[in-house]
Amino acid sequence: MPTRWAGGRPAHARRREPSVLNDDDLRHLRRCVELATEALADGDEPFGSVLVSGSGDVLAEDRNRVASGDQTRHPEFELARWSTNHLSPAERAAATVYTSGEHCPMCSAAHGWVGLGRIVFASSSEQLTGWLAELNVPAPPVRTLSIREVVPGAIVDGPAPELAEQVRQLHRRFHGTTDGPSLTAR
């Protein structure tokens, strides 16, 4: 029998209007880009994520580790898993996941299933898809979807235009090119 919640949806899944990114958001997103840079330096795809408590404390952080051969080693998925072992459902719902790139469908689903709160990303799936097309990178084996297509009630903010070019350049470096036109904010 399916679980039902009072009001039709759990509190963490209720939609709200996107907010403007504040200085704390940008600070955490910059750390995500630093983690993505570390991933790239280790030969991995450039993605990084930070989990922040409802009171603003950094709880955990990770970077992509798919170069090991396990394509599920995305930082957002790892933080979702970490949260179930270390946080109560209420703490998960109050937490924010910051990430250098919008969640893939696998990570979005994990986020929704464990009941994490807000998601803030530096670059969107739409931006990444465009950048990879410019570089003639083949499409991934899993369809690219926005977080809201996977978790309709997710609280999502992003992208951060001030970080777009930096994230784009990380992907250009990973895919073997650093030349080309500069990105303008979309």
> How far, in Å, CA of 150 to CA of 109, rounded?
6
Residue 108 pLDDT: 97
Residue 86 lies in a domain: yes
How many domains is the chain built from?
1
What local confidence, expressed as pLDDT, does residue 178 receive?
Answer: 56
12 is a domain residue: no
Q: How high is the pLDDT of residue 185?
A: 28
Please choose, from the candidates 23, 83, 78, the residue with its C-alpha nearest in 3D space to the C-alpha of residue 53.
83
Q: Is residue 171 part of a domain?
A: no
Q: Domain for residue 39, yes or no?
A: yes
> Mean pLDDT for each 10-residue chunk of the chain (186 residues)?
33 46 97 98 96 98 96 97 98 98 97 98 95 91 93 96 96 78 31
Residue 6 within a domain: no
pTM of the model: 0.85
On the CB side of 95, how many CA atoms lie within 13 Å of its CA? 30
Residue 118 in domain? yes
Whether 185 is in a domain gets the answer: no
User: Distances in Å between the alpha carbon of 73 and those of 69, 118, 123, 155?
Assistant: 9, 21, 19, 23
For residue 98, the domain's CATH number is 3.40.140.10
Q: Is residue 89 part of a domain?
A: yes
- Domain membership of residue 34 as a residue range: 20-155
| Residue count of the chain | 186
Which pLDDT does position 100 carry in this prediction?
Answer: 98
Q: How far apart (Å, rounded) are the C-alpha atoms in residues 101 and 125?
A: 7
Residue 19's pLDDT is 55
